[in-house]
Amino acid sequence: MRRYGQLSLRTRIAAGVFAGLAVLVTVFGLLALRAISLSTTFALEERLHLAQISAEAVDDLIDHTAQQFEQTAAFAATWASEQQQGQVAQVYDLLAEFERIARFGPDGALLWEVPQPTEDARWAFGDDATVRDALGRLQTTILVPARGPASDDLIAILVTPLDRQDAAAGFLAGELRVSHADVSLLSLPEGEASLGSEIVDADGYIVFHSGGEEDFHADEHVRVLAPMIAEGRPGTAIHHEANGPDHVVAYYPFRLRPGGFVVEQTEDAALVLPQEMQRIMLVYGIGALLAASVAAWLHATSVVRPIRRLTGDAARMASGDLDHPIAVSRGDEIGELASRFDEMRVKLRTSLEESTRWAEELEHRVELRAREADERNRELHALNRIRRQLLAKTISAQEEERKRLARDLHDDSAQTLTAVLMSLSAAEGAIVADPQAARASLARSRSQLEMALTEIRKAIVDLRPSALDDLGLASAIRSYAEERLRPGGIKLSLATSGDERRARGPAATAIFRIIQEAVSNAAQHSAAANVRVSLDFERNQIHARVEDDGSGFDPASLRQPQESGRGLGLLGMRERAELFGGDVEIESRPGAGTSILVRMPLG
C-alpha cells in the first residue's frame, strides 16, 4: 500500500480505471462462460434426447413386432405341420419386418426357414447358447446372440412357442434386422453430415452404424460407454481419439434388450455455438480491455496536466505571493478547485490584514479568561467550604450520637442494672429469712435485666442494624423505617424486585444510609401521611426510590447547603452515592411531595 501511494497520480488513475474495467470484463467474462457452459449442456442434452427418442423407437418396434410374432405363432399352431410353412410364409410377406423366420421342433432341431435358404445360407443362430436356452420356454423371449459377423445390424431375435401350454408344439424364431425392417428411427436430421447413430450391444460393441463416416470400428466406443452400460444409465461423453477428431457420444439404454442407442457427432460440429462464443468473447474481451487501457491512460494524462499547473500555483502561494491571481481555464471540477484556491488566496490576504485586530481581540479574551478563572476559584472556595461544613456536620452527628448513646446507657441501662444489683442483694438477704420475698426480688431482677437487654439492643441497632447483615437490605430498611415513622403516624409501604442477594458489602451499607437519611427527612420535615420505599435489584446495579406525599420543597434552593446547615443532608446523600460510583436524583416541589431516586452500581 505504501509503494502504491508513491506512484504518480496519472499512474494511479489509469490503474484504477484499468482495475475497474478488468473487474467489469471479468464479470461479463464469467457470465459469458456461464452462457457457454449452458449452451454446451444444452447441446449435449439435445444429442442425448435424440438418442432417447431413437432408443424408445427401437423398443416400440421390438414390442410391436413381438406382439405380431406371438399372433403369428398362434395362427400357425392351428394348421397342420405340413401347412405351417406356407402359412408362415404368407405372414412373413405381410409383416415385412423379419429378415428370417425359423421353425424349431420341441427338441430344438431346425425344421424349416422362411424364406427358403440356400445350402450355404442356412440360419446362423441355431447353435447359439442364448437361442438354445430360449427354445425351452413357454413365453416370448427377446434376445441378442453372441457377437459375430452374423450379428451385424441385428436388432434382436424373437423366440415364441406355438402353444403356450405345451412345449411339444415347437417354436418360431424371427430375426429383426435394421437392414430389413422399416427402421425410420435411424434417420438423422438433414444438414448434419457429421452426425451418426449406432446400436451397441451389452458390451458396447457397435452392431449397426448409420450416418457420419463409414470408416469405423465395432469397438471404438467400448471404453467410453462401458461405465454407462454397466450402470444402465443414459449419459454423454467426449470421446478423444488419437488419430482423428474428438466426438461427442450420447448413449441411451434399450428397455427390452441389452445395449442401447448411440448418437455421435464430431465435437467441432456439436459444440460449434459454444466454441464460437468462446472465441468471440476472447477476441473482443482482450480488444476491449486494451482499448479501454489506452483510453484510461489518455484520460489520466488530461486530468493530471491541469493539476500539475495548479500545484505550481499553490507552491507560489505557499512562498508568500498572494497578489497574483490563479488562472482558471477549465469549467469542470479541476476548474472549480482552481477557483476555490483563488478564493483562498484572497481570504489569506484578508486574514493577514486582520491579524493585528486578532491580536487585540486575543488580549481581550485573555482578560476575560482571567476573570472567568477568578470566578471558578471562588466557586472552588465555596465548594471547599461546603465540604468542610459537611465534614463538620458528620463529626458533630457522630459526637451527638455518641452522647445520646452514653446518655441512654447511663440513664436507662446503667440505672436498670443498678436496680438489678439492689434487687439481687435484697434477694440474697431474704433467701433464708423470707424465701417468698426473695423469689419476688429475683423476678423483679429478671424483668429489669430484660429491659436493660432491650435498651442495649436498641443502641446496637442505632449504631448498625443487625438485620442488614443477617436478613438483608430490605429487612433492615423496613425495620428502621417502621421504627422511625411509627411515632409520627406515617404509614410505610415497601416493595422489592429482583435478587436481593446481590446487595452485599459497602454498596448495600451506602444504600441503607442514604435511605435512612431520606426516611429521617420525611419523618422530620415533610408532614407526610404515607411513605413508599421501592428497591429494584438488577444484575449490575440497585435502584432505590423513597417517595412521600408531604409538603415538598424546591430542590434548586438547596443545591448548595446554606450557612445554617440546611441542605447538608441532601449533599451528604449525593456525596455518599458518588463515592460508590452512583448518583442521587431529587424531584420535589412545594405542596407536591418528594421523590428521591438512588442508582448504585454493584461490585
Summarised one tens digit per residue, pLDDT across range 183-216 is: 555 555 555 556 778 888 878 788 777 765 556 6
Residue 355: pLDDT band with limits 50, 70, 90: confident
Of 305, 345, 347, nearest to 329 by C-alpha is 305
**Orientation of helix 435-463 relative to helix 355-408, angle to 10°:** 180
Residue 545: pLDDT band with limits 50, 70, 90: very high
pLDDT, tens digit (0-9, with 9 covering 90-100), for 242-301: 676 777 888 889 888 888 888 887 777 667 677 677 777 777 777 877 777 777 777 767
CA 507-511-515 angle, to 5 degrees, is 170
What nine digits make up the cell of 418?
443498678
More confident residue, 220 or 233: 233
What nine digits make up the cell of 417?
442494672
**Using CB atoms within 10 A of its CB, is residue 487 exposed (0-12), middle (13-18) or buried (19+)?**
exposed
CA 148-154-159 angle, to 5 degrees, is 100
Taking residues 29-53, report their average pLDDT. Answer: 79
Asked if pLDDT for residue 387 goes beyond 70, the answer is: no
pTM: 0.45
What nine digits make up the cell of 16?
484504477
Local structure of residue 559 (DSSP, 8 states): S
CA 294-296-298 angle, to 5 degrees, is 70
Ranking 110-119, 150-159, 386-395, 582-591 by mean pLDDT, the lowest is 386-395
More confident residue, 494 or 462: 494
d(CA 474, CA 2): 64
Asked if pLDDT for residue 382 goes beyond 70, the answer is: no
- Residue with cell string 463416416: 213
What nine digits make up the cell of 344?
483562498
More confident residue, 442 or 255: 255
- Residue with cell string 410364409: 89
Residue 481: pLDDT band with limits 50, 70, 90: confident
Across the chain, mean pLDDT equals: 76
Residues 1-177+268-319, CATH architecture: 2-Layer Sandwich (3.30)
Taking residues 362-390, report their average pLDDT. Answer: 76
Homologous superfamily of the 466-601 domain (CATH): Histidine kinase-like ATPase, C-terminal domain (3.30.565.10)
pLDDT of residue 532: 92
pLDDT of residue 234: 92
Taking residues 104-133, report their average pLDDT. Answer: 81
pLDDT of residue 309: 73
d(CA 159, CA 110): 13
d(CA 63, CA 65): 5
On the CB side of 139, CA atoms within 13 Å amount to: 3
**Sign of the Cα pseudo-torsion (548, 554, 559, 561, in order):** negative
Asked if pLDDT for residue 10 goes beyond 70, the answer is: no
d(CA 126, CA 128): 6
| Range(s) within the chain of domains with CATH label 3.30.450.20 | 1-177+268-319, 183-267
> Do 154 and 146 touch, CB atoms closer than 8 A?
no
pLDDT of residue 447: 73
pLDDT of residue 213: 53
CA 50-51-53 angle, to 5 degrees, is 65
What nine digits make up the cell of 352?
493577514
Where would I find the H helices in 409-553? 415-433, 435-463, 466-470, 473-485, 506-521
More confident residue, 161 or 217: 161
154, amino acid identity = L
d(CA 242, CA 194): 18
pLDDT, tens digit (0-9, with 9 covering 90-100), for 45-82: 888 888 888 888 888 888 888 888 888 888 888 888 77
DSSP per-residue letters across 75-109: HHHTS-HHHHHHHHHHHHHHH---SEEEEE-TTS-
pLDDT, tens digit (0-9, with 9 covering 90-100), for 166-181: 888 889 888 888 777 6
SS (H, E, C) 196-264: EEEEECCCCCEEEEEECCCCCCCCCCHHHHHHHHHHCCCEEEEECCCCCCCEEEEEEECCCCCCEEEEE
Q: Which residues of 331-340 are buried (b: 16+ CB within 10 A; e: fewer)?
A: eeebeebbee
Strands 235-239 and 530-537: unpaired
- Residue with cell string 434417420: 187
User: Three-class SS of residue 41?
Assistant: helix
Residue 365: pLDDT band with limits 50, 70, 90: confident
Asked if pLDDT for residue 410 goes beyond 60, the answer is: no
Length of the chain: 603
- 567: alpha, beta or left, given left = phi > 0 and alpha = psi -120 to 50? left
On the CB side of 241, CA atoms within 13 Å amount to: 16
CA–CA distance from 14 to each of 6, 298, 305, 308 (Å)? 15, 8, 14, 16
What nine digits make up the cell of 602?
454493584
Where would I find the H helices in 464-599? 466-470, 473-485, 506-521, 568-579
What nine digits make up the cell of 85?
410353412
pLDDT of residue 2: 55
What nine digits make up the cell of 148?
459375430
* Kind and range of the H or E run holding 64: helix 9-77
What nine digits make up the cell of 134?
430360449
Residues 183-267, CATH architecture: 2-Layer Sandwich (3.30)
